[in-house]
A and B are shown apart, each in its own frame.
Chain A
């Protein structure tokens, strides 16, 4: 009885989470430009449209470029910071940890507006590079958190052992710290990449009038009328996110990354 209730509850939550995606998936395979569910006919044409239609393709390309670059910049900010905080005893430097976590914790509109006023005041408003930096700052929290977790899981005696064997600080970092931190580096990048790909408000406020990322494109399309490409792009994004997180789970320890420190095997 209890097991049945459990399954039912999991099932209902699952249905709630999956329902919009199922409906959108259904809509995306309509044969004609209908917003109809169940779908009328079957066609994968709207998926092809993402790549054949110049506007959608450019938006996809812009989004992926933005995500790839901004996640990289976010890592460049997070890695030395997390390393320093782990390696050194400097309590005042924790302020930067706080600064790294704030952009993502505050309501996104605030970070977005702050960046908008800043770019407008400095005269860079609308330039593509500003979106990269803005997203890097907005999402620096994610690699910062995964890397802090990663560093805290390194046994400090490993570093001492390397030193007794003749490794200087730089060699220790290259031969011991970096290989051990790599899974956290990858997952931090993956998190920042996926979230940047989906981000709307910061991108919109910084470069909304000069370039179209996919979320901006979808929103604009939503305002000016309906096209099933919106549905196919949505499904594409769900698939990308699920694939990337699936890979992180496959090659890393997802429960541990999400804060369950003991990764005990319950099977």
Chain B
């Protein structure tokens, strides 16, 4: 079957519904949001149509700079933790028996699909004084009495790593499965130990994949909106949390929209970077 260029107008009919839905319910809302970001806030209602840059001007404050800086720093920290844990794990997984792989994939998908609410709740329980991990340590005699481990930066970082780790593994998985196993075998015959072969052959061969994954996990972590709220203090709030807060609790839609637009620009820049890294990987 050759892929024919559509000849008649009716050949386009399968596109009508998908294109219509995506335009009306994704493109138009997106445009609405951009428009709202230039509107004026109206304390009594939502907003009044206008064309002002006030909402963007607020970015220039020290408070906003801190939030942005913290968001980026947190997302980078999560991305690095995930990559460090996931690369060796995924490598081992891709070399495991098929049955083992399938079992892990089911488990990873199940955790990946879990609501942030549920992950937040689970970790807040795990970090709590009454039902937390410290109770186990007390039982083992390592600690004298249980303590609460949240709210804290460590709690936010741990839970976000937990949330992003399955995602990281699933993004890395295809590239690692397709990696030619004879590469490491060749290294082994040349005298490298398995661990040395991993670091001298596998990691360099996957450099572009790893960079691309790092960026994708970074974006994923940037989108985290609840965990900092549930497990952290207000100074641990990220841009995503702030957007939710402004939109829902402060009813300041124009400012929330402006922040969202800003977040999109950051994300798109990073996606562009990923694509660029991918292209370079192909030609290399």
Contacts from A to B (Cβ < 8 Å): 2, 6, 9-10, 13-14, 16-17, 19-21, 23-24, 26-27, 34-38, 73, 76-78, 80-81, 83-84, 86-90, 93, 96, 99-100, 102-103, 105-118, 120-121, 133-134, 136-137, 140, 156-157, 159-160, 163, 191, 194-195, 197-201, 204-205, 208, 215-216, 218-219, 222, 230-231, 234, 237-238, 241-242, 245-246, 249, 254-255, 258-262, 265-267
B107, B117, B165: most-surrounded residue (chain A CB, <10 A): B117
Query: Interface SS of chain A: helix, strand, loop or mixed?
Result: helix
When C-beta atoms are compared, the residue in chain A nearest to B146 turns out to be: A37
Taking A2-B195, A77-B18, A88-B3 as given, write out 20 further A-B residue pairs in contact, using a Cβ cutoff of 8 Å, ordered by the A residue number.
A16-B165, A23-B122, A23-B132, A35-B125, A35-B131, A37-B131, A81-B18, A106-B267, A110-B263, A110-B267, A163-B1, A205-B248, A215-B118, A222-B120, A230-B121, A242-B106, A254-B102, A261-B178, A266-B97, A267-B98
- 0/1 string, B1-32, CB within 8 A of A gives 1: 11111100001101101110111011111101
A residues near B17, Cβ cutoff 8 Å: 76-77, 80
With a cutoff of 8 Å between Cβ atoms, the chain B residues found around residue A93 in the complex are: 15
Q: At the interface with chain A, which of B60-68, B199-207, B222-230?
A: B222-230
Whether, in the assembled complex, B140 has its beta carbon less than 8 Å from a beta carbon of chain A, the answer is no
Asked if A88 meets B26 with Cβ closer than 8 Å, knowing A108-B223, A258-B174, the reply is no
- Asked if residues B106 and A9 are in contact (CB atoms below 8 Å), the reply is no
Task: Name the one of A20, A105, A265 contacting B126, with C-beta atoms under 8 angstroms.
Answer: A20
Q: Let me know if B190 is at the binding interface, CB within 8 A.
A: no
Specify which chain A residues have a CB less than 8 angstroms from the CB of B94 in the assembled complex.
260
Q: Could you say which of B12, B118, B222 contacts A198, with CB atoms under 8 Å apart?
A: B118
Interface size in chain B (residues, C-beta < 8 A): 93
Question: Are A258 and B113 closer than 8 Å at their CB atoms?
Answer: no
Contact B131 A117 (CB under 8 A): no
Chain A neighbourhood of B38, CB < 8 A:
none
Write out, one digit per residue, whether chain B residues 119-137 have a CB within 8 A of any chain A CB (1) or not (0). Answer: 1111111101011110100
- Per-position contact with A for B126-161: 1 when CB-CB < 8 Å, else 0? 101011110100010000000000000000000000
- Report if A218-B121 is in contact (Cβ < 8 Å); known contacts: A108-B223, A109-B260, A137-B25: yes
A44 CA to B100 CA, complexed, in Å = 31
Which chain B residue lies CB-closest to A204?
B248
Q: Is the pair A110, B105 in contact by a Cβ cutoff of 8 Å?
A: no
Stretch of B50-58, B85-93, B276-284 on the interface side: B85-93
- Which residues of A are found within 8 Å of B120, using beta-carbon distances? 222
Are A27 and B225 in contact, CB atoms less than 8 angstroms apart?
Answer: no
Within 8 Å by CB of B105, from A80, A163, A205, A249, lies A249
A sample of 29 inter-chain contacts (CB < 8 A) reads A10-B92, A16-B165, A17-B111, A24-B121, A37-B125, A80-B17, A90-B5, A93-B15, A106-B267, A107-B240, A107-B263, A107-B267, A111-B26, A113-B260, A114-B33, A118-B25, A121-B32, A133-B21, A140-B21, A157-B1, A197-B113, A204-B248, A245-B109, A255-B98, A255-B177, A260-B94, A260-B173, A262-B177, A266-B97
What separation, in Å, do the CA atoms of A77 and B15 have in the docked complex? 9
CB pair A258–B162 under 8 Å, yes or no, is no
A19-B133, A118-B28, A242-B110 known; A254 vs B243 contact (CB < 8 Å): no
Chain B positions within 8 Å of A265 at CB level: 98
| Chain B hits for A195, CB < 8 A | 113
Q: How far is the CA of A19 from the CA of B12 in the complex (A)?
A: 51
Per CB-CB distance, the 10 closest pairs between chain A and chain B, nearest first, are A107-B223, A259-B174, A118-B29, A20-B122, A37-B131, A81-B18, A198-B115, A260-B177, A114-B29, A80-B14
- Contact status A107-B219, CB under 8 Å: yes
Q: Which residues from A are CB-within-8-Å of B125?
A: 20, 23-24, 27, 35, 37, 231
Of all chain A residues, the one with the shortest Cβ separation from B28 is A118
Task: Tell me whether A102 and B114 are in contact (CB under 8 A).
Answer: no
How far does the alpha carbon of A195 sit from the alpha carbon of B118 in the complex, in Å?
13
Chain A residues with CB under 8 Å of B124's CB are: 222
Chain A residues in 8 Å Cβ range of B26: 99, 102-103, 111, 114, 137
Asked if B170 lies at the interface with its beta carbon under 8 angstroms from chain A, I say: yes
- Judge whether A114 and B222 touch: CB under 8 Å: no
In the complex the two chains form, is A17's CB within 8 Å of B133's CB? Answer: no
Q: Are A108 and B225 in contact (CB under 8 A)?
A: yes
Tell me the bound Cα distance from A194 to B121 in angstroms: 19
With A and B bound together, what is the CA distance between A83 and B18 in angstroms? 11
Interface centre among B125, B132, B194, B271 (most CB of A within 10 A): B125
Report the bound CA distance from A199 to B225 in whole Å. 12
Asked if B33 and A37 make an inter-chain contact with CB atoms under 8 angstroms apart, the answer reads no
B256 touches A113 (CB 8 A): yes
**A10 CA to B101 CA in the complex, in Å?**
12
Nearest opposing residue in chain B for A172, CB measure: B1
Asked if B126 and A23 make an inter-chain contact with CB atoms under 8 angstroms apart, the answer reads yes
Is B247 interfacial (CB 8 A cutoff)?
yes
Q: Is there an interface contact between B123 and A20, defined as CB atoms closer than 8 Å?
A: yes
A105 CA to B26 CA in the complex, in Å?
A: 13
